[in-house]
Amino acid sequence: MERTTLHIVCGDSRSRAEQARVVFALGHHAEVYADLAELLERPTTEGIVIATDDGRPGLAQDLIRRLGEAGMWLPVVLAAPAPQTAQVVAAIKAGVLDYLRLPLEINSFAARLRSVIEEANLYTDRRRRVVEARQAIASLSRRERQVLDLLSAGCSNKEIARRLNISPRTVEIHRGNMMGKLRAGHAADAVRLWIDAKLGPAAVSNGATRESEAEFGEVAGRIGSSDRQGWQPPNPKSQRQ
């Protein structure tokens, strides 16, 4: 099992020390923090966060949100001495990878940690994909974003032109500019970015969900019929605003 850094966030000093002891005993590295603010003061892009659940409503969502705002796209695991079913379900729905019982028992924790590390590697890749998709779409102009939204809804150029009250040729210009900014070779590539950008923390932690894959298949099918109508990138010589 690869050596991993576990960022232990816990307000109880004894519990922090015990969790760190188990982590080191398994050959991993532990960094300890009294609270999330202390972790955010020392930004990192590597490792897994193990945070103690203090029972505060919305803890998981708040934790993931604040890490994201700080540019720390780290996988999160929650832990508690006596986790209740409702706590675990809420945490998983919010996007945490796993929920552990404290104190950590070295053998059971070792087994859980193997799967957590495997999932964390996938999480990091998926989270990076979502971030890159959002950054790419954020580079679009308002009109280009409107074209992308309508394209993803399966609208043809003529339909987009009618809805936006612009000419089909202008739609082609905006569509060509949008495809260029997204570095999309096909409309389906642009739609994949559009879908990735909409994924929330829970979908990211759970992987490419059946719902998102089904949505992509449905949308790709719709735009496929539009593309067969003969769309081509606009000729710069004929562009007009």
- Integer angstrom CA distances of residue 198 from 25, 131, 195: 40, 10, 5
Residue 239 CB coordination number (10 Å): 13
pLDDT in tens, 163-191: 999 999 999 999 999 999 999 988 888 98
Tell me the β-bridge partners of 30: 6
The domain at 139-238 falls in which architecture? Orthogonal Bundle (1.10)
Q: Is the pLDDT of residue 212 over 80?
A: no
Residue 230's pLDDT is 41
Distance CA 181, CA 190 (A): 10
What residue ranges do the domains of the chain occupy? 5-125, 139-238
Residue position matching structure tokens 């089909």? 168
| Nearest CA among 179, 188, 185 for reference residue 219 | 188
Q: Is the pLDDT of residue 228 over 60?
A: no
The domain at 5-125 falls in which architecture? 3-Layer(aba) Sandwich (3.40)
Using a 10 angstrom Cβ sphere, with 0-12 exposed, 13-18 middle and 19 or more buried, the burial of residue 181 is: middle
Residue 122 CB contacts under 8 Å (≥ 6 apart), including other chains: 207
- Tell me the average pLDDT across 131-146: 91
Distance CA 123, CA 76 (A): 10
Q: How far apart are the first and last CA of the chain?
A: 58
Per-residue confidence band for 233, with pLDDT thresholds at 50, 70 and 90: very low
CB-CB contact of 198 with 215 (8 Å) = no
Residue 197's pLDDT is 84
Q: Is the pLDDT of residue 146 over 70?
A: yes
- Integer angstrom CA distances of residue 99 from 66, 82, 96, 139, 167: 19, 11, 8, 37, 54
Residue 59 CB coordination number (10 Å): 20
CB-CB contact of 133 with 193 (8 Å) = yes
Mean pLDDT of the chain: 83
Phi and psi at residue 50, to the nearest 5°: -115, 110
